[in-house]
Structure 1
Amino acid sequence: MKTRFRFLAILAAATLAAGCSLMGPSPKPAPMADASTAATLVLYRVHLGDPGDDFTNHNVYLDGASVGRLNANEELLLKVAPGVHELSVRPETKLIGSARQEPLKYSLQLTPGSTRHLRYRTAAGPARMDAATGAVYADRELGPVSEQDYANRR
């Protein structure tokens, strides 16, 4: 029994040291866009409420390829090939990479040289309610914003 446990521990350590994951295949890299025709995609995250949820990565995928991670009040600037794309943000538990919630998906069509701004908003606790209007925000929301809204985000 001890030998079997040691063997499994060595196998797990060797797998992790080799860069492989026990949780499944790693995401494929995002394709590169031609700089002369690329569209610009700006994705930023706003968090409403207590930033105490330190155990979640908000991973961003474009057409199923990993393109980065969004922490509170950060942004990603992506150069993307024109055409129809699917952007998704999936909250995952840090360290083990297991999904905490279903990914939010957004389909977008980009034209050459265009710029699109998207906001990923997360809300927690009492900050989910707007004090002025009484509106209740969803836990997570992904959607387009105007260039002016993007400029006034802070």
Structure 2
Amino acid sequence: MRFSKVFKQRYDKWLRKEFHLAEKIIENLNDWLKAWIDVSDDSDRKVFTYKTEDTTREQFSKVPYVLDHEGAATYRGVKSSAEHGLTEWRSSRAESSLEKFHELLAHFANISCKSEFANALIARGTAEHNVGARWRYDCMVQRCWIY
């Protein structure tokens, strides 16, 4: 249950996320690459494209840019109004738009329908999101918020 959506909705504000060190991130990427590099699907197609390994190895050099500065405050504690009195933890950095968008599509992964239908739903959701983002951007440009 710890990784479920319900758990996150109920308890996420009282838990602090753990940030890995650069060495651990590189090690996890390397393990992921080794685990999937030679895997094929049912129709004997490789799971990775010919560019996947090179792209993943390129990420090794970019890991330091993802990390926070060693002394940076990533969370701030807020006194909770709940009866248990636990401290609520709020992140000092906002979630990226890309991560928020992925959360919108997360429920399509396990809806027990044909893959073609799930792909169509995801494509439609992506298109709708992009149309809305484009409209908001155009509104900002018209109001001269972006120079």
TM-score by length of 2: 0.18
Greater helix content: 2
| Pair member with larger Rg | 2
- Higher-RCO chain (CA-CA 8 Å, sequence separation at least 6): 1
